[in-house]
Structure 1
Amino acid sequence: MDILRIKKTYFSAKRLQEIINVFLKHGFGQIIDQIHLGRFIGLKKRIRSFGRWPYYKVPTIAERLRIAFEELGPTFIKLGQLLASRPDMVTLNYAKEFKKLQDRVPPFKVEVVYEIIEKELGISIEKVFQSFNPEPIGSASIAQVHEATLMNGERVIVKVRRPGIKEQIMLDLSILQTLAKLVEKYISESKLFDPVGIVDEFSKSITKELDFRREARNAIIFKEKFKNEEKVYIPHVFREFTTEKILVMEKVDGIRIDDKESIKEKGLNIETLLNTLIDIYFKQIFDYGFFHGDPHPGNILVRDDGRIALVDFGIVQRIDEEFKEAYANVALAIINQNTEQLITEYLKLGIIPEDIDREKIKKELKEDIEELLFPIYTYRIEEIKISELIESIMRVCLKHRLRFLPELLLIDKVLIMLEGLTRELCPKISIIELLKPYARKIISKRLHPEFYLNKTFKALREFRDALEHIPFQFKTLLKKAVRDEITVRMYHVNLPEFIKDIDKASNKIAFSLIVSAMILSSAIMHANQVKPLIYGISLFGLITGVFAFFLGLWLIISIIRSGKL
């Protein structure tokens, strides 16, 4: 079993034990037993917890899971933050709870920071920086940030990865992958949420986040795309001082976009700035297909000259032309009150389980979405809240077991954050009104012959590729048929586990009957004074009774350890 591979190293076994104990403490002992990890719980802990499962320290399962994630540290906090943006995987209640996860940890010593920088760059820190602030301006689970000045006088921020964090995250990921497989194997209901898929997506996401060269590339691409935009400022990346573990980027002076009073003192118009900001994001999404995915106020600064500066390029997403067109269609369908079009485009952007009838789900979705949107259509455009609209549509889609591409959810998150910012600072701005021209621009591309030519060429290329592969696939199939290697596999869901559980139960019943028979035999031998006797007690009766006592005790302990008494 996979769990045995995890136990090969001391640290893996120790970390696994820690994870199990934390989940046990927060009332998830039954799940631990269901995935057959109960044997990793010590007998003392098992007895102390016996009769108290589930252990409710806080009211809801979602809250207890969030607290457990916080206690387990960086990897689980990051996993929770990913799940907060994936309500299609974990439901809205869990997603809302995971949004409360805080990624703040104590800073590590500045001496360690110096050591990492010198090791990465291969030169002493005095030859790189004129000055270096030992106090971090930010400290999170993966990295901490310091201010510094380069030898040429330029002020920079220096992002340094925590020592040992990659090794810790890789260890946790290996354990999470095994736990996900066990959950999927032993808890059939979990397949609806795809635990293995969640861990795989998280693994890709956090692995990218650990390499600061990727963030540097993102910033460089943004700077290139916005080089002719007078209203946007992207900080410069010092590639010569950037490695996997450190990122050196220009320090941008500016006011946070939500600091309304300071912006007014500078003589800048907040409405104009917000319109510019929204325009910047729509250009990223619909023109460049490459957008900044974390527009919280701390990442958006207003410079003295009125330019908007974007910082922190750790979360960036690419989207292709087909996706842009589908999303533009969604926006126009909502604006034009076209339910049929809205459902068609949402199904394009989603992942429909194989066992769902597409025509049936379209009909059911139409009924639910029309009922949902009917009251909204009585509002003026500027009165519609994107956050409420997206959440309502999400609830309907979750009801019908639809999943969504990460790109769709990230764009929704960006729009919700932008709307929250504008409603707080300038409520009269309507994001939907500003979205209209971009959506129409995307759709208008269909009127150009070039659009259809490109689509035709793409379809022909795909058809050609398919034709090229057919002979090879047919040849492979024929070879297998000749060798009698074609097999048909049938799998009964949970039947092997059911048979295994029946075997265990019947074995325990047989064992208990044997113990009962031994106790009864011991009593009969004692009552009939079967010889030889010791102090008037039958020796065979005594031996049988003692043996039966220990066997019975062992049976009781094994039942307690299983947690199914």
Structure 2
Amino acid sequence: MPFNRFNRNVRSLKRYRQVLSVLFKYGFGHIIEQLNIDYYIQLGKRAVTFGATSRDLQRLPHGARFRLALEELGPTFIKLGQLLSTRPDLVPEDIINELKKLQDHLPPVPLEEVQAQIHSELGYPAEDLFALFEMMPLATASMAQVHRATLKDGTEVVCKVRRPGIEAVIMTDLDIMMGLAYLANKHLPGADMYDPVGLVKEFRRSIQRELDFSREGRTIDRFRKNFEDDETIRIPTVYWDYTGHTVLTMEYVSGIKISNFDELTRGGHDLKLIARRGANSFLKQVFQFGLFHADPHPGNLHILEDDVICIFDFGMVGRLDDELKIHLTELLLAILHRDADQIITQLLYSGDLNDESSRKNLRHDLAEFIDDYYDTLLQDIKVGKLLFDFIQILSHYQIKFPPNLMLLSRSLIAMEGIGRQLDPHFNMVEQLRPFAEEIVKKRYSPGNMTKDIAGTIREYHALGKSLPKDIKEFINRINRNQFKIDLEHRGLERLVTDLEKSTNRISFSMVIAALIIGSSVVMQIDKGPSLMGFPVIGLFGYSVAGFLGFGLAIAILRSGRL
């Protein structure tokens, strides 16, 4: 039973009820009903059906109600919404636009609790570690808040501290999400296409990484190493003696926010140069290092002297392995060269498209997509939006792309937007082309071709060695009548439950009918004790039948199915 995955303590049940009531409040009760939740838990219908969606909420669009529900449910669900906002292959565009508005700011944690968290994590009181620790936080969010501080040697730092108790809340919510995902997979038609269980598992890995600040510290160190020879990019230093799982202490760097164009101009900064450097640094992350900053909004990019760009907040990063980088590069080049056949070839090679009719329809849609960009000058093409539109077409054909590709498209859109604001003539295509051509050049270099051929030969050699053994085992299983095919019936539990309910009600009705008929017969017999001239046994039978019938009627009305 999927719900044995839930933590069965009182807190989980209370939180579970709260989640369901919020979903009902915002008009998603029909989905809860489809999940057949009352079959799995002993809360009863009354636990999940109280309250109705107000008229004001009913007037709101579907996406707005979904966003408000996530905000009311708190940090974990807000983070889930932020993940879904990067998945145009799963979520319609109107809902994605709403999810981008999600706010995860919460009131600050009292300074005493922050200092207690530092003491618990680092083993020393905050006053022994810092010469100064500012009371008011620089920023607050759902999972952490940031304070300025000064080390004993006078070094200015920022200290990111996880909210006390947030991990327990998140773990409880993840249990609930996983239970709902298993139910959705079993009971919602077509849910397997979206893989809700896989989505929650992906989200669980992501948020567990985000909870561990020491992991973020190691990521910052990797970025520092990647850009150690690049004088145009600055990555803050992590102070490991003041860092742990719940506390991250970094160098304080003061600069001008990249979106503060007036101040940048007054400071004599070259906006066009900043645009090129920002794009170049991001494309390096993607195509050279395979590790990129996945949340490059203006608050995370500051400009220092000599137009140096300082990058902050590495809680959300994306990764591309070598194979995905090659596929992405060849796809982008095929799109920019307006070659629909090459795009199809790449999709076929990756094994995502095999139905002939789907292939023809996809080729037609891709040709129209390319035509939309055909008359557009290269300098006017927005690569991020182009990739985003391309992914939406593929999602229509249920072609799944790695989540990191969705993060990349969103990050590209953000970087291009910043670049065009800094320089109206900014051209991401020209920035992208050298990186893409270099990857293709390396891909088809004699050394890499030899390596690929050697790897293919090894794979075929291993296949040739194992194939006779596998065929022999297959034949032996057939000869021993041990060859089995497992069939999985999905969604039958609800049918079985409904049949059991119907059978019980019919049996109950027959008992009631028998009592009424039997009591009517007894009433005709003038024997035994009587009350007001009527046989007591007959009156008793009528009473029992009436009581049972009333209970049956209440149960049917509560079920909502007359």
* TM-score (structure 1 length as normaliser): 0.91
The residue aligned with 1:367 is 364
Whether 2:11 is the aligned partner of 1:11: answer yes
Whether 2:373 is the aligned partner of 1:376: answer yes
The residue aligned with 2:303 is 302
The residue aligned with 2:431 is 434
Asked whether the equivalents of residues 46 and 560 of structure 1 are also in contact (C-alpha less than 8 Å), the reply is: no
**1:471 Cα offset (Å):** 8.6
CA displacement 1:6-41 (0-9 Å, x = unmatched): 363222222212212222222233322322223656
Alignment partners' CA distance in 2, 1:110 and 1:486:
66
Alignment partners' CA distance in 2, 1:61 and 1:40:
30
Instruction: Output the amino acid matched with 1:431.
Output: M
- Greater CA drift, 148-157 or 505-514: 505-514
**1:496 Cα offset (Å):** 5.4
Alignment of 1:462-541 (within 5 A): 462-463=459-460, 486-495=483-492, 497-519=494-516, 522=519, 532-541=529-538
SS of residue matched to 1:235? coil
**1:454 Cα offset (Å):** 2.2
The residue aligned with 1:155 is 156
Asked whether the equivalents of residues 300 and 311 of structure 1 are also in contact (C-alpha less than 8 Å), the reply is: yes
**1:304 Cα offset (Å):** 2.1
Alignment partners' CA distance in 2, 1:141 and 1:132:
21
- Greater CA drift, 311-320 or 138-147: 311-320
CA displacement 1:404-456 (0-9 Å, x = unmatched): 10121111111111122223332211212221121112112244211202212
**1:257 Cα offset (Å):** 0.7
Equivalent of 1:409, from 406, 410, 433? 406
Asked whether the equivalents of residues 7 and 175 of structure 2 are also in contact (C-alpha less than 8 Å), the reply is: no
Asked whether the equivalents of residues 17 and 40 of structure 1 are also in contact (C-alpha less than 8 Å), the reply is: no
The residue aligned with 2:20 is 20
The residue aligned with 1:146 is 147
Instruction: Output the amino acid matched with 2:310.
Output: A
The residue aligned with 1:229 is 230
Alignment of 1:150-549 (within 5 A): 150-346=151-347, 352=352, 357-463=354-460, 486-495=483-492, 497-519=494-516, 522=519, 532-549=529-546
Alignment partners' CA distance in 1, 2:6 and 2:483:
34
Alignment partners' CA distance in 2, 1:348 and 1:70:
41
Asked whether the equivalents of residues 279 and 419 of structure 2 are also in contact (C-alpha less than 8 Å), the reply is: no
**1:232 Cα offset (Å):** 0.8
SS of residue matched to 2:435? helix
Alignment partners' CA distance in 1, 2:379 and 2:514:
81
- Greater CA drift, 10-19 or 197-206: 10-19
Instruction: Output the amino acid matched with 1:110.
Output: L
SS of residue matched to 2:158? strand
SS of residue matched to 1:88? coil
CA displacement 1:194-221 (0-9 Å, x = unmatched): 1111111101111111111111111111
Asked whether the equivalents of residues 35 and 188 of structure 2 are also in contact (C-alpha less than 8 Å), the reply is: yes
SS of residue matched to 2:190? helix
Alignment partners' CA distance in 1, 2:328 and 2:354:
24
Alignment partners' CA distance in 1, 2:249 and 2:464:
50
- Over 3 Å counting, the alpha-carbon distance change for 1:530 and 1:104 in structure 2 is farther
Instruction: Output the amino acid matched with 2:393.
Output: V
**1:188 Cα offset (Å):** 3.0
SS of residue matched to 2:307? coil
Alignment partners' CA distance in 2, 1:511 and 1:15:
36
**1:119 Cα offset (Å):** 1.9
- Number of equivalences: 560
**1:464 Cα offset (Å):** 5.5
- Over 3 Å counting, the alpha-carbon distance change for 1:345 and 1:407 in structure 2 is farther
Alignment partners' CA distance in 2, 1:406 and 1:301:
28
CA displacement 1:32-74 (0-9 Å, x = unmatched): 2322223656665677558x89995343333322222111111
The residue aligned with 1:80 is 81
Alignment partners' CA distance in 1, 2:553 and 2:191:
31
* TM-score (structure 2 length as normaliser): 0.91
SS of residue matched to 2:318? strand
Asked whether the equivalents of residues 87 and 94 of structure 1 are also in contact (C-alpha less than 8 Å), the reply is: no
- Over 3 Å counting, the alpha-carbon distance change for 1:270 and 1:16 in structure 2 is same
Instruction: Output the amino acid matched with 1:295.
Output: P
User: What root-mean-square deviation, in Å, do the aligned CA atoms of Structure 1 and Structure 2 show?
Assistant: 2.9
Asked whether the equivalents of residues 108 and 140 of structure 2 are also in contact (C-alpha less than 8 Å), the reply is: yes
Alignment partners' CA distance in 1, 2:328 and 2:105:
35
CA displacement 1:235-264 (0-9 Å, x = unmatched): 111112111111000011111111100100
Alignment partners' CA distance in 1, 2:253 and 2:46:
56
**1:458 Cα offset (Å):** 3.1
Asked whether the equivalents of residues 33 and 562 of structure 1 are also in contact (C-alpha less than 8 Å), the reply is: no
SS of residue matched to 1:89? coil
**1:313 Cα offset (Å):** 1.0
Alignment partners' CA distance in 1, 2:371 and 2:204:
41
Asked whether the equivalents of residues 212 and 246 of structure 1 are also in contact (C-alpha less than 8 Å), the reply is: yes
SS of residue matched to 1:309? strand
The residue aligned with 1:31 is 31
